Chains A and B, each alone.
Chain A
Amino acid sequence: MTDTARPETPVPSRGRAGLLSRLPRTFMFGVLILGTLVLIAIFPEFFAPYDPLAFDYSAVLQPPSAAHPFGTDNFGRDVLSRVIHASTINLQIAIFATITPFVFGTLLGAVVGYVGGIAETIFGRVVDAVITFPFLVLVIAIVSVLGPGLVNMYIAVGLVGWVFYARIIAAEVKVQKRLDYADAGRAMGYTHTRIVFRHLLPNSVTPAIVYWMTDMALAILLGSSLGYLGLGAQPPAAEWGVQIAEGKNFMATAWWISVFPGIAIVITGLGFSLLGDGLADLLRTRK
């Protein structure tokens, strides 16, 4: 962004020295957490000490020890191995449940925000209607129509989730299109497509990307919630929500069955949040 001859989009101000020195840490920490997780999720067999599905009735409900760092559950299955193998499913949920809504919602939102008028009015009604249904209730209802399982969960989330991205982008584009650089672009005779996708969208997409990171964390929460209710991943498959549900009746006596999968969820969510925050700082183009 060094050429200044053309009408230019607002240049990010990166003047604050404190910000700059703090920035890479948040971001790198997020990258570190998620990088490790992705590695574990791709090669779970390499990291897991036991078979996640193998019953061992000689080692039932054992507290954490050297042999079983996270203890064993009521079937004698190694909790650590189950947590490790579950990461594959849970990271899949984070990505598959959010990518379609992000792409579709962002593009549609940009067009709606730019065109305005009747498109905005219609979109506004659709958004109002979709978001008036409590998200989880709607997803549970759709999943119960389609049947429990992960693919049906992706469909249910996709049907609803795009609205949030579209709403964010539409609002941003609506602000951006009134700024001088958009007028200048129009005065220069740029096509609408070029103004929207080359100039307005890059300046509006930051909140949507940041929201995407949050949304991946939310997708893991949603996936595990459905798993907990018995509507998501199906036992005996290891999934963090399913594991927490399996251990809930043992909370007072064998806390490790539920607590460790929960910590895994928190760490993953933290990774996405840190990454989102880091990205927000990196990509900040205003203020």
Chain B
Amino acid sequence: MPEFIARRLLQLIPTLIFILVVVFALVRLLPGDPASAILGDRAIDADVERINRELGLDKPIPVQFWVFVKSFATGNLGNSITLKLPVSQLIADRLPITMLLTFMAAVISLLMAVPLAFVAALKRDRPPDSIIRGGFQVGLSMPVFYVGLILLTIFGAKLRWFPVGGYGDGFLDHVYHLFLPAVTLALSLSAILMRNLRAAIIGVLDADYVSFAQSKGLATRLILYRHILRNALISTLALFGLSIGTLLGGAVITETVFAIPGAGRLMVDSIYGRDYPVVQGLTVALAVLVSVTFLLTDLLQAWLDPRMTK
């Protein structure tokens, strides 16, 4: 196990390098040059040159890449072009909002998926199963922005149970503001998890060791927890890790719909505004966040199923 952890940590290095290369390339392909984005259309050449010098854009590409890598190593990511703030500060301000939102969505989706998957699997092919699967299939087919728009209109604008946007002050207020967006985000993930978990539980139910446990006379509840849940959770964990990217992508849209000042919203604004220091800093930050989540789910999986470390 320690060897597996070490190996898995080492694997992060090429991934991080790849992330940096892709982001570096992508940002330099973005349409429009940063200098005219800062200065507007009527910029004079001297000013353009000055900005390019300040941003290091007059240097050769390899030098730019070295500066780019160094900036991430030191955390000095430059200033936002439109917001005139240090990028590292913007990320530190906005990313926790998105992280809280995705964390809440992950918890809500698990709370919805696990019990329902058990009911569906144990009542396989009977009415509860059909109703649960039907309901989640509808949930899976709903676009995030559509769900958000409908929840916002019903529970925000009409019933006034929840705020129609923003982030609030203080932790509890944040959670209150993020509740509807988190439910919006959780719906499709819980459908994916439920579907997989149900299949996994059914697979385990049919496995020989469960029949054996039953024939030994073990209590059904013990079998459910000790044998079924553990094995069914392994594949769900893998899916969960894989879904973090989707969840963060969904957060981009959710934050746009609910006007939440998170990293996703910042990302969309920065892409429209061609604010490339923010785009590159944020993309790297999000990618690092996802790789760390992968690492954690992998380690959890290895802990649940030691065969994974081979």
A282 touches B (CB below 8 Å): no
Alpha-carbon separation in the docked complex, A228 to B256 (Å): 10
Instruction: From B11, B143, B242, B246, give the contact of A125 (CB < 8 A).
Output: B11
Contacts of A18 in B (CB 8 A): 125
Check: B279 CB closer than 8 A to any chain A CB: yes
A19 vs B202: C-alpha distance when bound (angstroms): 13
Smallest CB separation, A93 vs chain B (Å):
12
Report the stretch among A36-44, A56-64, A77-85, A269-277 that lies at the interface: A269-277
Contact B267 A270 (CB under 8 A): no
Minimal beta-carbon separation of A260 from chain B (angstroms): 11
Stretch of B12-20, B54-62, B222-230 contacting A (4+ beta carbons < 8 Å): B12-20
CA distance A283 to B149 in the complex (A): 38
State whether B206 touches A129 (Cβ < 8 A): no
Give chain A's interface residue range (CB within 8 Å of chain B).
35 or more
| Bound Cα distance from A4 to B272, whole angstroms | 62
Bound form: Cα–Cα A266–B144 in Å = 11
Residue pair A269, B253 in contact (C-beta under 8 Å):
no
A212 to B271, CA, bound (A): 30
- List B contacts of A255 (CB < 8 A): 153
- Known contacts A244-B149, A262-B143; A140 and B268 CB within 8 A of each other: yes
Judging by beta carbons under 8 Å apart, are B271 and A141 in contact? Answer: yes
Most buried by A among B140, B143, B283, B294: B143
* Binary CB contact string for chain A from 191 to 234 against chain B (1 if under 8 A, 0 otherwise): 00000000000000000000000100100010011001100000
In the complex, are the beta carbons of B286 and A141 less than 8 A apart? no
Q: Which of A217, A251, A259, A287 contacts B140 (CB 8 A)?
A: A217
Contact among A132, A133, A147, A273 for B141, CB-based, below 8 A: A273
Which residues of A lie under 8 Å from residue B287 when comparing CB positions?
Answer: 132-134
Residues of B within 8 A of A135 (CB): 245-246, 249
Provide the bound-state CA to CA distance between A272 and B141, in Å: 9
- Chain A residues 105 to 160 lying within 8 A of chain B, measured CB to CB, are 124-126, 128-129, 131-137, 140-142, 144-145, 147
- Contact call B256/A229, Cβ cutoff below 8 A: yes
Chain B interface residue count, CB cutoff 8 Å, equals 51
B110-149 vs A, Cβ < 8 Å mask (1 yes, 0 no): 0000000000000001000000000001101111111001
B residues 221-245 in Cβ contact with A at 8 Å: 242, 245
| Nearest-Cβ distance from residue B204 to partner chain A, whole angstroms | 10
Q: Which residues of B contact A22 (CB under 8 A)?
A: 125
Question: CB of A86 within 8 A of chain B?
Answer: no
The docked-state distance in angstroms from the alpha carbon of A22 to that of B127 is 12
CA distance A128 to B11 in the complex (A): 9
Residue of A nearest to B126 (CB): A18
Is there a chain A Cβ closer than 8 Å to B250's Cβ? yes
Q: How far is the CA of A252 from the CA of B155 in the complex (A)?
A: 12
Bound Cα distance A245, B253 (Å): 12
Interchain CB contact under 8 A, A129 and B19? yes
Asked if B180 is at the interface of the complex by the 8 Å CB criterion, the answer is: no
Q: Give Cα A221–Cα B187 distance, bound, in whole angstroms.
A: 14
How far does the Cβ of A215 sit from chain B's closest Cβ, in whole Å? 12
| Interface: A248 (CB within 8 A) | yes
Residue from A137, A224, A259, A273 in contact with B252 in the complex, judged by beta carbons closer than 8 Å: A137
Contact B143 A221 (CB under 8 A): yes
Nearest B-chain residue to A271, judged by Cβ: B141
Q: Which of A128, A267, A270, A272 gathers the greatest number of chain B CB atoms within 10 Å?
A: A128
Q: Which of A133, A228, A287 contacts B19 (CB 8 A)?
A: A133
B249-290 CB mask vs A (1 if < 8 Å, else 0) is 110110010000000100110011000000100010011101
Task: Pick the interface stretch among B26-34, B72-80, B212-220.
Answer: B26-34
Q: A241-B143, A274-B137 are in contact. Are A136 and B250 (CB under 8 A)?
A: yes
Check A225–B245 contact: CB distance below 8 A. no
Complex CA gap A131/B18 in Å reads: 12
> Which residue of the partner chain A has the closest CB to B206?
A287
Interface residue? A265 (CB, 8 A): yes
B150 CB contacts on chain A under 8 angstroms: 259, 262
Contacts A129-B22, A140-B268, A270-B141; A262 near B153 (Cβ below 8 A): no
- Once bound together, how far apart are the Cα atoms of A129 and B202, in whole Å? 33
Q: Which of A132, A142, A229, A241 contacts B15 (CB 8 A)?
A: A132
Chain A residues near B146: list those with CB within 8 A: 224, 244, 258, 262, 265
Docked CA distance A245–B15 (Å): 37
Residue from the list A136, A145, A244 in contact with B246, Cβ < 8 A:
A136
The reply to whether A228 and B253 contact each other, CB–CB distance below 8 Å, is yes
Contact of A87 with B by CB under 8 A: no
Q: Which residues of the other chain, A, contact B26 by a CB distance below 8 angstroms?
A: 141-142, 145
Would you list 16 pairs from A and B whose C-beta atoms are within 8 A, ordered by A residue?
A: A18-B125, A128-B291, A129-B19, A131-B290, A132-B19, A132-B290, A133-B245, A135-B245, A136-B248, A140-B268, A225-B145, A244-B146, A262-B142, A265-B146, A267-B141, A273-B137
Given contacts A132-B294, A134-B245, A255-B153, 13 further A-B contacts (CB under 8 A): A128-B291, A129-B18, A131-B290, A136-B252, A137-B252, A141-B26, A144-B271, A145-B29, A214-B140, A221-B144, A259-B150, A265-B141, A270-B138
Binding site for B on A (CB under 8 A): 18-19, 22, 124-126, 128-129, 131-137, 140-142, 144-145, 147, 214, 217, 221, 224-225, 228-229, 241, 244-245, 248, 251-252, 255, 258-259, 262, 265-270, 272-274, 287
